[in-house]
Amino acid sequence: MSDVIRNVLVVNAGSSSLKFMLFDMASEQMLAKGQVERIGIGNALFTFSTEGFAEKQSPCEAPDHAAAIRLACDALTDPAKGGCLKSFADIDAVGHRIVHGGEKYSQPVKLDEHALTEIEKLSPLAPLHNPGALQGIRGCEQVLPGVPHVAVFDTAFHQTMPEESYLYALPRELHDKLGVRKYGFHGTSHRFVTERAAEVLGKPLDQVNLVTCHLGNGSSITAVKGGKCFDTSMGMTPLAGVVMGTRSGDVDPAIAFYLMKNGYSAEDVDTLFNKQGGVCALGGSSDMRDICAACEKGDHNAQVALARLVHSYAMYVGGYVALLGHTDAIILTGGIGENSWETRQAFLKVLSGLGVTLDAETNRHVRGVEATISGKDSAIPVIVIPTNEELMIARETFTLLSK
Ligand code: ADP
């Protein structure tokens, strides 16, 4: 490895998939990206693209995560595929996305055996995510030995929450013995848009108060006070908070006991709340493009789904604006926040009680770009800022290793 970190590979591994992106940190340009799907389950698929080479998908052999990362590195060093590296040695560092860092990690960490053991211990808190990420790290270490590997945690940004934000009103021993508390997720995205918002607003990061709304398939809303997380809508798990694609968001927890007394198992309730809820349950699709198209046609269920969705967003924004005292801006990001003008329009309408107004014409044309969509007279500016979690992971990896 050279002393200067130039090329950072960002890896987001799940139990059967591995997504990657390569960044040149001098320019922060993305050089290549791709993914391997169906790792270890047969009929694996490899997708790869670079600036000059359009996305290509092909069948591949990927019995494990090491094979998947080898496919990625082979493509990155193959000029015929558009790969721009001469050899694997040109990868200076790898940044891994890890969903759960528990209370242990409020910052990225350079991976060694101790850190891997600690992340493994956190697996009960994220049983669907941390084990897959660990497989990804082990695979990458086999293929890229001697390269520094860094873990960047989705929960880290939220570790600045005070006790009154993160404690549930339950006996303290549940927190102390079992880790029952609010952790929050999408932290890398909330951090990215917070840093960008400070630049856009021309304020020092430690003086900026925001409500950042990451609205996608999974959604969370965060109150940012002085550049740090003060509270966030997701909880101990990513089920809590606002209504999402297939997740219910906040419901009366007693519904779970009621259903279980009526023949539902714990797994049934889990599936119901996580996979069969949300706008999908109310409006018939988890995709806001379908919901908004159905609303346009006068579909009552879709209209209720949209109304319920933005109602849940507004409940958090209103609460957080009250808690923050002063709010410099409301930031919208994620697939819905960046692209769905209809959802944004409905959302800003229900925020009118806060003095928020909409520039309807601008809003209609904003898709995947940075723009202020509130009216000039809005009490709080509302700004769309496209998120870039992979670049944030690359930056955090670069910063940690450059110290
Ligand atoms: P994830 O949480 O899986 O990362 P995304 O942030 O990519 O999800 O958001 C996905 C959602 O964004 C889709 O389900 C869809 O509802 C919405 N979305 C994406 N593109 C558009 C678009 N052009 N118009 C409206 N909604 C969109």
- pLDDT by residue for the chain (403 residues), tens only, comes to 447 899 999 999 999 999 999 999 999 999 999 999 999 999 999 999 998 899 999 999 999 999 999 999 999 999 999 999 999 999 999 999 999 999 999 999 999 999 999 999 999 888 888 999 999 999 999 999 999 999 999 999 999 999 999 999 999 999 999 999 999 999 999 999 999 999 999 999 999 999 999 999 999 999 999 999 999 999 999 999 999 999 999 999 999 999 999 999 999 999 999 999 999 999 999 999 999 999 999 999 999 999 999 999 999 999 999 999 999 999 999 999 999 999 999 999 999 999 999 999 999 999 999 999 999 999 999 999 999 999 999 999 999 999 8
Q: What is the pTM of this model?
A: 0.96
Neighbours of 61 (CB within 10 A): 11
Give the separation between CA 329 and CA 209, rounded to whole angstroms.
7
Decide if 375 contacts 357 (C-beta within 8 A).
yes
- From 289, 338, 343, the mutation candidate for ligand 1 (largest count of ligand atoms within 8 A of CB) is 289
Alpha-carbon distances of 174 from 120, 170, 235, 269, rounded to whole Å: 21, 7, 14, 22
> What is the number of structural domains in the chain?
2
Please give the pLDDT value at position 214.
Answer: 98
- Bridge partners of 231? 223
With 0-12 / 13-18 / 19 or more C-beta atoms within 10 angstroms meaning exposed / middle / buried, residue 257 is exposed
- Look up the domain containing 74 and give its range: 7-153
Give the separation between CA 348 and CA 366, rounded to whole angstroms.
14
Decide if 335 contacts 216 (C-beta within 8 A).
yes
Instruction: Provide the annotated active-site residues.
Output: 154
Enter the tokens of residue 93: 């560092």
Any atom of ligand 1 within 6 Å of the Cβ of 334 = yes
Protein residue closest via CA to atom 12 of ligand 1: 335
The dihedral region occupied by 79, where left means phi > 0, alpha psi between -120 and 50, and beta the remainder, is alpha
Please give the pLDDT value at position 401.
Answer: 97
Give the separation between CA 97 and CA 134, rounded to whole angstroms.
10
Give the separation between CA 311 and CA 206, rounded to whole angstroms.
30
For residue 372, the surrounding DSSP H or E stretch is strand 371-372
Please give the pLDDT value at position 380.
Answer: 98
Q: Flag whether 176 is in a domain.
A: no
Q: Flag whether 186 is in a domain.
A: no
- Domain limit, last residue, from 134, 153, 172: 153
How far is ligand 1, taken at its centre, from the CA of residue 340, in Å?
8
Please give the pLDDT value at position 227.
Answer: 98
- From 340, 385, 390, the mutation candidate for ligand 1 (largest count of ligand atoms within 8 A of CB) is 340
Please give the pLDDT value at position 1.
Answer: 45
Give the separation between CA 219 and CA 228, rounded to whole angstroms.
19
Q: At what angle do helices 187-201 and 389-402 cross, to 10 degrees?
A: 90
How far is ligand 1, taken at its centre, from the CA of residue 250, in Å?
21
- From 336, 344, 363, the mutation candidate for ligand 1 (largest count of ligand atoms within 8 A of CB) is 336
Q: Flag whether 279 is in a domain.
A: yes
Same domain (yes/no): 13, 95: yes
Protein residue closest via CA to atom 2 of ligand 1: 217
Q: Flag whether 384 is in a domain.
A: yes
Please give the pLDDT value at position 391.
Answer: 98
The CA-CA-CA angle for residues 100, 102, 105, to 5°, reads 95
* DSSP assignment letter at 145: T
Distance of CA 96 to the CA centre of its chain: 14
Decide if 331 contacts 192 (C-beta within 8 A).
no
Q: Flag whether 171 is in a domain.
A: no
Residue 113 is which amino acid? E
Give the separation between CA 328 and CA 209, rounded to whole angstroms.
5
Q: Flag whether 85 is in a domain.
A: yes
Same domain (yes/no): 119, 240: no
Q: Flag whether 183 is in a domain.
A: no
- Domain limit, last residue, from 93, 119, 153: 153
Contacts of 149 (CB under 8 A, 6+ apart): 93, 94, 96, 110, 111, 137, 140, 141
Any atom of ligand 1 within 6 Å of the Cβ of 245 = yes
Protein residue closest via CA to atom 3 of ligand 1: 217
Distance of CA 184 to the CA centre of its chain: 10
Same domain (yes/no): 147, 296: no
Shortest-distance atom of ligand 1 to CA 340? 25
- Give the phi and the psi of residue 246 in degrees, each rounded to 5: -125, 0
CATH of the domain at 250: 3.30.420.40
